[in-house]
Amino acid sequence: MTHKNRELISEECFKDLSKDELVKSLELARLETFKYVNKFLEVEENWSFINLLLKKLNSIKEKNKLCKTICDGFLKLTNSKVCCCCLFNQDNSTIEFKKISYEGLTRKKELMNFIDSINCECVKFLEKAADVEYISKYFKSISGKEFIIVPILYSKIFWGYLMLIKEDSNFYQENIHFVNIFPEHIALILENISLYQESEKQNKHKIEFLAGISHEFKTPLNAIIGFTEILGSKNKNSENVKYTQNILQSAKHLLTLIEDILDVSKSQYKSLELNYSIFSPKNETIQIINTLEAMIKEKNIDLSYTLSDIRISADVKRFRQLIYNLLSNAIKFNKQNGKINIFNYIKDDKFFFEIMDTGDGISKRNYDKIFDFFSQVNRSQLKRQLGSGVGLALCKMITDAHKGEISFKSQIKKGSSFWFSLPLDK
């Protein structure tokens, strides 16, 4: 396979054009592109494939996968024998990702060596080149009749290049105008992927920091709880008992919130770990109700429940978190002298739990974010209540980990109804 001299680029390739010559050149290029694209799109199958390929490319979030999809797609679009996509790392002037797709090759080793030689020369050139226009001219100059090399450029940023090869003397002429349509769109996708990855990286650092801080909080809190319990046991007949009880209750509540934050933080980058056992959901629910008795009495809430005496297989610790978060929310966001109804049942080999309250309710515009991490859909109410904004996010993660579901319905000023289901079998 032969091509133009790639070691030295003549000054002729980069001579300055006059304004009129440049306009004329661009107009001819536009007309040629329009002509070839229209011809290609006359075939309905081609149009459908391009539409499908673009949708697929737009949904990709990883550069490595994007390279592979581009290669496979352009191999079919241009009917070429080899397609190579290289993404360049500007920080260290190296090829960061490289993918090659091919079909029906008879001289595979020779072609792979040719691609490697092109890549080496491109890297050497790009180590020195900075001007985008100069880069575009360079890639045009090293293309040949049987292969096309186009840069992936957008907004003066060079992302990489695309190489197509076919042992056909008309290959360049028949495909260059069509191929030139796509690099800018690919560059836009790459920019979006970079922004997405940077955002994910920052979020992970935030979550890891949050998890670390929360873990550090647990040590002093456990000491406060332990010593408060000792003080309470030694001063049972003292008038200070109510103060120690308040300290103990608040410290335990804070510890619960910290553990929730830890669980949600960990689940952002790894799945919740479940330890299955068989237990009675009725007994666990009644224990949670008893734990929150002080909060219920404080608001004078009328709480009633109808709980079936059944046994299920699930993670009992996570089940308690589910019930605790749903019930504490129903109490916190309920009105004074409000009502709460709780019941459970079995249906379609699933365990269902539902809790209904007469609280503030949730606006329809907040439905989509109710289970988001740190979602606070009722900020005015939250200011008056103890809440971390992670309770419902944790509930969803727990039900998802059990292969279950959680949902709700609500009306402003009338209350909410939350329910979840868990499979009866592990």
Q: What phi, psi does 128 have (nearest 5°)?
A: -105, -30
Radius of gyration of the chain, Cα coordinates, nearest whole angstrom: 32
Whether pLDDT at 267 is above 90: no
**What confidence score (pLDDT) does residue 256 get?**
76
**What confidence score (pLDDT) does residue 369 get?**
78
Put simply, whether the predicted model's pTM sits higher than 0.75 gets the answer no
Within a 10 A sphere around the Cβ of 111, how many other Cβ atoms?
20
Amino acid at 425: D
Angle between helices 391-401 and 316-332 (to 10 degrees): 150
Q: What is the band of 385 on the pLDDT scale with cuts at 50, 70, 90? A: very low
CA distance 275 to 409: 30
CA distance 251 to 289: 19
**What confidence score (pLDDT) does residue 236 get?**
74
Rounded-to-5 percentages of helix, strand, coil across the chain: 55, 20, 25
- Give the start-to-end residue ranges of the domains of the chain: 11-181, 191-270, 272-426
In the predicted model, what is the mean pLDDT of residues 221-247? Answer: 81
Residue 255 parent element (H or E): helix 241-267
Query: pLDDT tens across 129-172, in order?
Result: 666 677 878 888 888 888 888 888 877 788 888 889 888 888 88
In the predicted model, what is the mean pLDDT of residues 384-408? Answer: 79
Give the closest residue to 111 by CA, choosing from 146, 162, 63, 71: 146
Burial of 228 (0-12, 13-18, 19+ CB in 10 A): buried
Structural domain 272-426, CATH architecture: 2-Layer Sandwich (3.30)
CA distance 211 to 140: 52
**What confidence score (pLDDT) does residue 1 get?**
44
Contact of 252 with 225, CB cutoff 8 Å:
yes
Amino acid at 138: Y
**What confidence score (pLDDT) does residue 422 get?**
95
The CA-based dihedral angle spanning residues 241, 251, 293, 396, taken in that order and rounded to the nearest 10 degrees: -170
Give the closest residue to 217 by CA, choosing from 258, 277, 156, 267: 258
**What confidence score (pLDDT) does residue 178 get?**
77
Strands (E), 267-338: 276-279, 302-306, 312-315
CA distance 6 to 140: 11
Q: Which of 43-52, 165-174, 341-350, 389-398 has the highest mean pLDDT?
A: 341-350
Give the closest residue to 326 by CA, choosing from 416, 402, 211: 416
Give the closest residue to 291 by CA, choosing from 324, 317, 259, 258: 324
CA distance 185 to 51: 13
Q: What phi, psi does 42 have (nearest 5°)?
A: -65, -25
**What confidence score (pLDDT) does residue 380 get?**
47
**What confidence score (pLDDT) does residue 20 get?**
59
Contact of 148 with 176, CB cutoff 8 Å:
yes
Structural domain 11-181, CATH architecture: 2-Layer Sandwich (3.30)
**What confidence score (pLDDT) does residue 52 get?**
80
Q: What is the band of 35 on the pLDDT scale with cuts at 50, 70, 90? A: low
Number of helical (H) and strand (E) elements in the chain, helices listed first: 13, 11
Q: State the residue for tokens 């009675």.
A: 280
Whether pLDDT at 70 is above 80: yes
**What confidence score (pLDDT) does residue 57 get?**
85
CA distance 95 to 84: 12
**What confidence score (pLDDT) does residue 10 get?**
35
**What confidence score (pLDDT) does residue 15 get?**
45
Contact of 324 with 256, CB cutoff 8 Å:
yes
Give bridge partners of residue 165 from the DSSP assignment. Answer: 82, 147
In the predicted model, what is the mean pLDDT of residues 225-234? Answer: 85
CA distance 349 to 363: 33
More confident residue, 233 or 22: 233
Instruction: Indicate the CATH number of 191-270 among 2.60.40, 1.10.287, 3.30.460, 1.10.3210.
Output: 1.10.287
First-to-last CA distance in the chain? Answer: 61
CA distance 196 to 229: 48
